[in-house]
Chain A
Amino acid sequence: MDRSRADAAPVVEARDLEKIYRIGDVEVRALRGVSLSIAAGDFLAIIGSSGSGKSTFMNLVGCLDRPTRGTYLLNGRDVGKLSRDQLARVRGQHIGFVFQGFNLLPRTSALENVELPLLYQGVGARDRHTRAAEALERVGLGDRLDHTAAQLSGGQQQRVAIARALVNRPSLLLADEPTGNLDSQTSLEVMGVFQELNQQGLTVLLVTHEAEIAGHARRIVTFKDGLVLSETSPSRGRLACEQRSSREEHSA
């Protein structure tokens, strides 16, 4: 990715995005005109109840789906009209996904899971190993390379998933309810990882329905009925690591 271009244009530039699903004869208007911009280095949380359109928006931003109407520029490039395979290429090069259910390949080592995106980029075997190991070290799992999902705790699995999302050096990290399957302590740990990555310059888009989790972001956008309802900025406060240490003091 050309750094100067990324600086010039916002990473995500959505203009009047609409998404209409047709289920039988019924039209479902999941998004009804959302405009949103995410600058490089931002940490945005989208919050909303189920059916608010936040997941649909996430899928569009993640290039998993195409909008019915409106334009979506990723790093200044219009990706709304790309073909399936072109979208796959964009995903592989510019986007990292973290899911609620971790979505690691079963019976596959952490290292191999993290290597997966590089495999589709045509990166050679030796390079793949090095970069995947580096990514795992970055999330604090440098000593768990050969563990399979079943041998890792929920928090560790999510860290592997984050490493997988980082390994192709994406311009945007998408996290869809990343703490939904984790207890509150582990949730804080994982949010801490996101904040750390964001401080290192990574643009993060988080989707959640928990206000507390959203509070770790720099900006919070609330979705309702397929529209942006409001936007707030938590006063850059709640660092997950501080919160964690204060909790530890409490429990001590």
Chain B
Amino acid sequence: MNPAASLRTALRALRKNKLRSLLAMLGIVIAVAAVMATVSIGQGAQAKVVQQWESLGANLLVVSPGSLAVRGVATGSGATQNLTRDDATAIERELTSSVLAVAPVNKTPAQIVYGDQNWFTQVQGTTAAYLQIRDRPLAEGHAFGREEDASGAKVCILGETVVKKLFIPGAPVLGEQIRVKHVPCKVIGILTSKGNAFGTDEDDTVLMPWSTVVRRLIGSQSDAVGKVMISARSSQHVADAEREVTALLRQRHRLSDQAEPDFQIRNHVEMQDAAEKNADTMATLLEAVAAISLIVGGIGIANVMLVSVTERTREIGIRMAVGGRSRDILFQFLTEAVVLASAGGVIGLALGIGAAQWMAVKSNWPTLLSPPVMLGTILAAGLAGVIAGFYPALRASRLDPIEALRFE
């Protein structure tokens, strides 16, 4: 019997027992649906995390002032003021082989007023390098340069959210005077929108020259910086950059070899790797759960197939009497099991995708449908069918035709 005829025979047999076929599939349907839904939600979440890490800036190192232990009580990072503008300048000047860009950042919350509108947000004092490091090109206008930083020029770059809060849609923004705290300020640029990253609105921000923020808004004469953002030349340079920055800062801060550093460096590439490793662990766990579900589903099919073989003993006898060989019978029942499992896989796939989409819409979760995973799941379901169907099919094929014909 050729495969096409086998398939038709199997489909006909399954159609004759619709309810039983449906129940046999159910295990696989649920297994595949659950796996599809969790995988697509999990992959969506992972993709979003990766995207968020990337949105922070490529190959990013963040140096912040270290914690200061006062009589054994740690005061937390940023408590000291020993990281300075000069440190940032030194890194930029001396570590050109591994470091691409350096930007000092000082933040202060501020009330911003334009006309009769006002908004409260974080103002970041930095240099133009910040835009490069954070990968935030300007949608409109231009960045501030060295002179504006040196002179404490009263200029600012606005994030989208701030623009929306202060200006009527369509109204001119560039060149307008706004007030940041008590300082009148000219808008010279608008950031491209970046959306949310880790729960913070990246567009709800105002960028100003570092000295403008520190000298005019905060009113400090100190050179201390809140943090220094560094972009390494490439992902291969991140480790070098971290080591060199550490050595340079230790030297500049005159720390002995044994002393604890008075600064800390966060390596975003490492953190990103850790996050991805976590996601991989979850994926492995999910694969294990998927495998177990498929085994359970396969047992369901094996069970139904065994009953079916017993119930259809006489049919098997007839088929053998009219010339069906053992392998024809084996193939017929194996085909039935594989069709059951694959159909269950396809139905489960559809249900799983539906469930994932529903969750995506309902809870605003990102989902990702990966064709290789879908194909793999269907193949795994089919394989479960082959394994589950083999023993019942073998039993059917080994029946004695005389006994089978006599079976009541």
| A residues lining the B interface (CB < 8 Å) | 59, 62, 64-65, 84-85, 88-89, 91-93, 97, 99, 103-108, 116-117, 119-122, 164, 168
Contact = CB atoms under 8 A, between A and B. Distances in A.
Nearest to B5: A119
Interface in B160-194: none
Q: Most A CB atoms within 10 A — which of B321, B322, B326, B405?
A: B322
B2 interface: yes
A104 B2 CA distance: 22
A10 B405 CA distance: 28
5 contacts: A88-B324, A88-B328, A92-B322, A120-B322, A121-B323
Given A116-B318, A122-B2, A103 B324 contact: no
Given A103-B405, A120-B328, A91 B323 contact: yes
Contact of B314 (A97, A103, A122): A103
Contacts of B271: none
Contacts of A93: 323
Given A105-B318, A119-B5, A119-B9, A85 B402 contact: no
In terms of DSSP, what is the predominant structure of the interface of chain B?
helix
B277 interface: no
Contacts of B317: 103
A85 B318 contact: no
Given A116-B319, A119-B9, A99 B405 contact: yes
B209 to A, nearest CB: 83
B325 A89 contact: yes
A120 B325 contact: yes
A105 B315 contact: yes
Given A85-B325, A97-B322, A122-B1, 12 more contacts: A64-B402, A64-B405, A84-B326, A88-B326, A92-B323, A93-B323, A99-B405, A106-B315, A117-B323, A120-B325, A164-B322, A168-B323
A63 to B, nearest CB: 9
Contacts of B5: 119
A153 B4 CA distance: 33
Given A64-B321, A119-B1, A107 B16 contact: yes
A97 B325 contact: no
Nearest to A123: B5
A116 B322 contact: yes
A121 B5 CA distance: 11
A64 B1 CA distance: 19
B320 interface: yes
A61 B290 CA distance: 53
Nearest to B16: A107
Contacts of A108: 12
A229 to B, nearest CB: 24
Interface string B379-405: 000000000000000000000011001
Contacts of B315: 105-106
B327 interface: yes
A92 B323 CA distance: 4
A65 B16 CA distance: 31
A213 to B, nearest CB: 20
Q: Most A CB atoms within 10 A — which of B9, B320, B321, B401?
A: B321
B377 to A, nearest CB: 33
Contacts of B328: 88, 120
A59 B402 contact: yes
Nearest to B314: A103
Contacts of A119: 1, 5, 9
A96 to B, nearest CB: 8
Q: Most A CB atoms within 10 A — which of B319, B325, B326, B327?
A: B325
A62 B193 CA distance: 84
